[in-house]
A = this chain, B = another copy of it.
Amino acid sequence: PSISDDFQDDGEVAAAKAIYMVSDGTGWTAEHSVNAALGQFEHCLVDRGCPVNTHLFSGVEDVERLMEIVKQAAKEGALVLYTLVDPSMAKSAEQACKLWGVPSTDILRPTTEAIAAHLGVAPSGIPRGAPGRKAPLTEEYFQRIEAIDFTIKQDDGAQPRNLNRAHIVLVGVSRTGKTPLSIYLAQKGYKVANIPIVMGVELPKALFEINQEKVFGLTINPVVLLSIRKARAKSLGLDGEMRSNYSEMDYVREELEYANKIFVQNPVWPVIEVTGKAIEETAAVVVRICHDRKQKCLMPRISKRY
């Protein structure tokens, strides 16, 4: 999807189908789910055979606003996907959609109901933003913030003396996605450091002194890396000279071989191939390996306690 791309339906996109996402909270759960589900329709989205516009309505806490949105959905011929935990709001959404012929689905209800039955406890029915409900300053909150602060400070090889405090250390040549991957993992509470591999620059000693099970190598197909670097050089406005060194095929290949030699010398480091993987896909692999190593249990899995 194109980000922060605001528009009203106009001639050009008249054929686009609209999906409304309505939440009494932030709407991020609906957005995440719809995004994943739309992955199942890439074959027609990509070539614009069936363009889709999504519209996110967050903080919908009263029935008046809800009715306005459903009416607008009816006008636009939109599908309405909602997460509304107050039973009377959910009921209103369902009934209004039925009345105005708007297709609709409660995204989270099956999950909530399955959990309720499993726990033998009824859901509160209280939305996250409800008056009086405050997100508590849990240990997790502080952990996450500390992880983000740490990870920002350790970006791009900074302050190797702190490497021992990292949960995860990522190593790879420029533009293998170390920074976005670090940040993604930091959001999940991991303290991450990333260290660039640059030909002719020695890796910090500290890297080899910490627990080697924390270190992960990233590698990538040279042709893909070249295209990423070309895009990068363009956006940085590098001039011809700089550019050619950084983004010429021979140089890229040589640098990746140099990195691979380092990886061979450090066989404890898992080497992850990032070609064609989205950031969150690589993150899933890293987190899985991390937990498997710590856990050594019968079944690889990532566990949390609520």
A51/B135 contact (C-beta < 8 A), A42-B124, A44-B119 known: no
* In the complex, A11 has a CB within 8 A of chain B: no
A34 vs B140: C-alpha distance when bound (angstroms): 17
Q: Of B36, B107, B187, B281, which contacts A129 at CB under 8 A?
A: B281
Among A55, A105, A283, the one with the most B-chain Cβ atoms within 10 Å of its Cβ is A105
Instruction: Please name all residues of chain B whose beta carbon is closer than 8 Å to the beta carbon of A152 when the two chains form the complex.
Output: 152, 155, 179, 183
Is A108 a contact partner of B37 (Cβ separation < 8 A)?
yes
Does residue A295 face the partner (Cβ distance < 8 Å to B)?
Answer: yes
User: Is A98 among interface residues, defined by CB-CB distance under 8 A?
Assistant: no
Q: When each residue 103-146 of chain A gets 1 if its CB lies under 8 Å from chain B and 0 otherwise, what string results?
A: 11111101110111111110111101100011111011111111
Give the complex CA separation of A52 and B118 in angstroms.
10
- A222 adjacent to chain B (CB < 8 Å): no
Given contacts A40-B125, A281-B129, A305-B2, contact A183 B179 (CB under 8 A): no
Partner pick for A183 among B2, B28, B187, CB 8 A cutoff: B187
Q: Could you tell me the distance between the alpha carbons of A190 and B133 in the complex, rounded to whole angstroms?
A: 28
**Which A residues from 36 to 85 make CB contacts under 8 A with B?**
36-46, 50-59, 68-69, 72, 79, 81, 83, 85
Q: A37-B111, A81-B111, A183-B186 are in contact. List 7 more A-B contacts (CB 8 A).
A: A1-B304, A2-B139, A40-B85, A53-B306, A145-B179, A145-B180, A183-B187
The 3 residue pairs across chains A and B that have the minimum distance between CB atoms = A134-B276, A3-B189, A40-B123
